[in-house]
């Protein structure tokens, strides 16, 4: 609507339009997460999620540093004693595969020699210049605290899912969830510590049948 059109509106019409807009904004602000289905014990689901050691997620990972920002598509395949993460896009500099077993972690890029390290954190820092706590993220992406690190402040939503927590100096904020029967699993989470900020948007979860 241009300025000349606004000037031709009568005062009652303008008042009605403003009231309608305010009502719409009020309704939108009142919208929140849908209540959980009745009869679900989320304490029990937390225990079940902790025991879930095989899954796959696909989505987008964004990293923001003081002097840089990048994103990549992520495909994370988790097995009981190993995992493989595929990164594609600017963050992965084309295509990057991170493979982890109890013996160590390996990073491979097309046309380059593989690089190995005892931990994913050391490997990421050496090759990318930044790192994320992958051993803890293994739990955070499922919406549960890591049992390998002390838990600081932890806030829960009314339905029992995590709203935020602090562990190992990191702040993890859960921005939204999605129903992946029989669970509610994170759909978007933000992870930050000092000058590192990461956002993970999970488009697809696959759980064992």
pLDDT, average across residues 10-36: 38
Query: pLDDT, tens digit, for every residue of 74-93?
Result: 999 999 999 999 998 776 56
Question: With pLDDT > 90 as the criterion, what percentage of the chain qualifies?
Answer: 59
Q: What is the mean pLDDT of the chain?
A: 81
- In the predicted structure, residue 6 carries a pLDDT above the cut 50: no
Per-domain residue ranges for the chain?
A: 42-206
Distance (Å) of CA 56 to CA 20, 21, 84, 155: 44, 42, 10, 26
Both structure tokens of 61 = 């990972």
Query: pLDDT, tens digit, for every residue of 82-137?
Result: 999 999 877 656 688 999 999 999 999 878 899 999 999 999 888 878 889 998 99
The reported pLDDT for the residue numbered 12 is 41
The reported pLDDT for the residue numbered 27 is 37
> Higher confidence at residue 58 or residue 28?
58
**Superfamily the domain 42-206 falls into:** Lipoprotein localisation LolA/LolB/LppX (2.50.20.10)
> Higher confidence at residue 43 or residue 74?
74
Banded pLDDT at 35 (limits 50, 70, 90): very low
Rounded distance, CA 166 to CA 146, Å? 10
Buried b (16+ CB within 10 A) or exposed e, 23-36: eeeeeeeeeeeeeb
- In the predicted structure, residue 18 carries a pLDDT above the cut 90: no
The reported pLDDT for the residue numbered 91 is 62
The reported pLDDT for the residue numbered 41 is 65
SS3 label, residue 14: helix
Among the ranges given (4-18, 76-90, 158-172, 194-208), the one the predictor scored with the smallest mean pLDDT: 4-18
The reported pLDDT for the residue numbered 159 is 86
Banded pLDDT at 22 (limits 50, 70, 90): very low
- In the predicted structure, residue 40 carries a pLDDT above the cut 50: yes
Phi, psi (rounded to 5 degrees) for 38: -70, 150
């Amino acid at each position: 609507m241009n300025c000349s059109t606004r000037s031709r509106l009568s005062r009652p019409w303008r008042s009605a339009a403003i009231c309608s807009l305010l009502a719409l904004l009020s309704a939108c602000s009142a919208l929140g997460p849908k209540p959980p289905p009745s009869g679900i014990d989320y304490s029990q689901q937390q225990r079940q999620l902790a025991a879930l050691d095989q899954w796959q997620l696909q989505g987008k990972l964004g990293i923001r540093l003081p002097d840089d920002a990048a994103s990549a598509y992520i495909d994370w395949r988790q097995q009981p004693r190993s995992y493989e993460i595929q990164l594609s896009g600017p963050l992965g500099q084309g295509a990057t595969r991170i493979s982890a077993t109890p013996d160590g972690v390996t990073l491979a890029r097309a046309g380059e020699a593989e690089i190995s390290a005892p931990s994913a954190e050391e490997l990421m820092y050496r090759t990318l210049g930044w790192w994320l706590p992958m051993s803890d993220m293994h739990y955070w992406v499922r919406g549960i605290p890591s049992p390998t690190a002390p838990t600081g402040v932890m806030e829960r939503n009314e339905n029992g899912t995590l709203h935020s927590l602090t562990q190992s100096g990191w702040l993890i904020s859960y921005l939204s969830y999605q129903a992946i029967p029989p669970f509610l699993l994170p759909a978007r989470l933000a992870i930050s510590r000092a000058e590192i900020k990461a956002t993970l948007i999970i488009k697809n979860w696959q759980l064992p049948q």
